[in-house]
Amino acid sequence: MSTDNESYDEEEETKFLNAEEVTMIATNFLKRLGHKQGLKPIKASLEEEIYVVEVGLVKKTATVQIDATTEQIKEYEIKEKEQEVQTSSIISLSPKNVLIIAGTAIVSCILTAFLRISF
């Protein structure tokens, strides 16, 4: 009977955390550091016995390493986000901008017809 209890205790001791648990540990840690707003989990991966959790912050990205067995934070790093290069266009085509462009075109057509200006 005691062997069953011993094997059960050993299983409990070697129980690993899962990705959800380490993400909560990492976000709670970052909140304690003062990053309370805009925490967005990006990735959690297990490398040997260390979980690496990436969390997006406002204009920054945090990487937190957590020991899977002891639940201790081994290392963390907070970096500025790299600026994304926008190659699509200079003017963003939001619905508001599209309405302004269309409205300007319609008004100019009406004015040219009213003033009888031909091109």
pLDDT given at position 8: 47
Compute the average pLDDT of residues 92-98.
Answer: 81
Q: What sign does the CA torsion over 32, 77, 63, 14 have?
A: negative
Domain ranges of the chain: 2-82
Cβ 31 vs Cβ 64: under 8 Å: no
In the predicted structure, residue 97 carries a pLDDT above the cut 60: yes
CATH pick for 2-82 out of 3.10.450.40, 3.40.640.10, 3.60.21.10, 3.90.1180.10 = 3.10.450.40
pLDDT given at position 18: 87
- For residue range 11-70, list pLDDT tens digits in order: 455 566 888 999 999 999 999 999 888 899 999 999 888 999 999 998 899 999 999 888
